[in-house]
Amino acid sequence: MLTVVAFIAALGLLIAVHEYGHYRVAVLCGVKVLRFSIGFGKTLFRWQPAGSSTEFVIGAFPIGGYVKMLDEREAPVPDEQKCLAFNSQPLRSRVAIVAAGPLANLILAAFLYSVVNWSGVELPRAILAVPPVGSIADRAGINGGELVTQAGFDVAELQSVESFDELRWLLTRGALEGRDVHLVVKDTAASTTRDVQLPLAELDVQNADQTMFQAIGIIGPRTRPVIGEVMADGAAHRAGIRQGDHVTKVGAVQVVDGQQLRDWIRSTASAGQPAETVWSIERNGEAIKIKVQPQRVVEGGVAVGKIGAFVGAAPEFVTIRYGLLEGLIGGVTRTWEVSALTLRMMGKMLVGEASLKNLSGPLTIADYAGKSASLGLTQYLVFLALISVSLGVLNLLPLPVLDGGHLMYYLWEGITGKAVSDRWMERLQRGGVAVLMAMMLVAVFNDVTRLLG
């Protein structure tokens, strides 16, 4: 139920803001707006404010919206109202009206990111987990437990890193843009600082997914290797492990974080029955040793080791909050970065350098809406901002059925002094619909594949 409500609320807000951008600028330009509709299909609500010529409507299917303006191309217009028609407006006014919708979505995104910056949010600190063997981070000398204090694409322009989320965003941009990332890390145990370069330009990234971060070697923040709830009759219970035990070594291997310990436990059954191993544990300030033999369990046709206990504590968190101006600049900057990255990925998909699996449709969006809402208001606002950027950028694409397509017509009119002919307009509209339908089919196919996978 939460997923449905969060999805409908997100769609309703983003569509309303988009259409309001068109509506508000149309009114400012002196165009008569006949109808402002959120959704299509059967009318659920209809009202017309006193003294207004605009009818406001909410339709049964909130999958889009429209602003219907007085236009001689759609219906006859009385002579005394021709000056109020959209088609009679100067080129600059028509451009402003069409561009206002996508720009409204981008402004909303910048505002939402700013609200998150102002309100403050608890995020994991940028303390690194042990990287997978052979990954870029492993080859660069990351051992796990290091705190990232600065990062950037250029050594001369490093910026402070406040949270793991900031680091993850920088790594995403680096991998997708083919740029190396420079880190300044602090070894918390030795209190020493060193520089690390991650050559992300060597990655051939097709999908922005977990596989990409696996190759980079920075998957999540470090979690302390502390034992959580212990199941009765499990391997951990039989060995005498207790909730709250801090695992420091497995055999001769130093244990730095919970993910490292979980991966090791799962790998113990890869060559048959897991062997008994001595674990070094800290319990109530006392160092003890316990022999543990994981159980062999088959999951999805793959044999893995299990100990019957939750492994790993929550990561260390830090509260991030910015002032009014700093938070606003951060919101605008993040909107610009996400917009640029979205356009770059679309370009890569167009030329075959990125997989079409990166396209997401309504099912994935609904799933993320529910998950983000369940994590709290802050995460939901971040989700809304991201989708608002995507909607704004998508509508600016030069496809004839989208706002960007109309702007393309106006560009031609501005250069040649002539409007696009009705014949060419019809051809381009058909082509635009075909391209858009193909994109939607691919997106829905990706949605189903993700959900079933």
pLDDT tens-digit profile of 378-428?
A: 889 998 999 999 899 988 988 888 899 889 988 988 989 888 887 887 787
Residues 154 and 245 in one domain: no
Do 340 and 426 fall within a single domain? yes
pLDDT for the residue 453: 58
R_g of the chain computed on alpha carbons: 27
Apex 424 CA angle, 419 and 425, nearest 5:
70
Give the CA dihedral 441, 369, 175, 338, nearest 10 degrees: 90
Tell me if 100 is assigned to some domain: yes
Segment 342-361 shows an average pLDDT of 73
Provide the pLDDT confidence category of residue 447 given band limits of 50, 70 and 90. low
**Under 8 Å between Cβ of 226 and 244:** yes
Please tell me the distance from the alpha carbon of residue 291 to that of residue 73, in angstroms, as a whole number. Answer: 82
Q: What mean pLDDT is predicted for residues 84-98? A: 92
Instruction: Check whether residue 451 and residue 369 sit in a common domain.
Output: yes
Angle of the 91-119 helix axis to the 2-28 helix axis, nearest 10: 140
Give the per-residue pLDDT at 190: 64
Q: Residue 426 domain-assigned?
A: yes
Question: In Å, how far are 329, 339, 380, 389 from 397, measured between CA atoms?
Answer: 26, 12, 26, 13
Is residue 356 predicted with pLDDT exceeding 80?
no
Let me know whether 269 and 366 are in one domain.
Answer: no
Q: In terms of domains, do 337 and 361 share one?
A: yes
Strands 277-283 and 146-152: unpaired
Is 202 marked active-site?
Answer: no
Task: Specify the number of domains making up the chain.
Answer: 3
Alpha helices in 245-376 (DSSP H): 258-267, 324-351, 362-374
Host domain of residue 360: 93-120+324-453
pTM of the model: 0.82
Residue 363: band (very low, low, confident or very high) from pLDDT cuts 50, 70, 90: low
Q: Is 310 left (phi over 0), alpha (psi -120 to 50) or beta?
A: beta
CB atoms within 10 A of CB 170: 24
Instruction: Specify if 79 maps to a domain.
Output: no
Residues 297, 252 share a domain: yes
* Domain end marker among 311, 343, 359: 311
Average pLDDT, the chain: 87
Boundary-marking domain end, from 279, 311, 343: 311
Taking 80 as the threshold, does the pLDDT of residue 205 lie above it?
A: no
CATH for 245: 2.30.42.10
Which residue in the list 19, 55, 282, 286 is annotated as catalytic?
Answer: 19
pLDDT higher for 61 or 117? Answer: 117
Residue with tokens 């989700």: 383
- Decide if pLDDT at 95 tops 70: yes
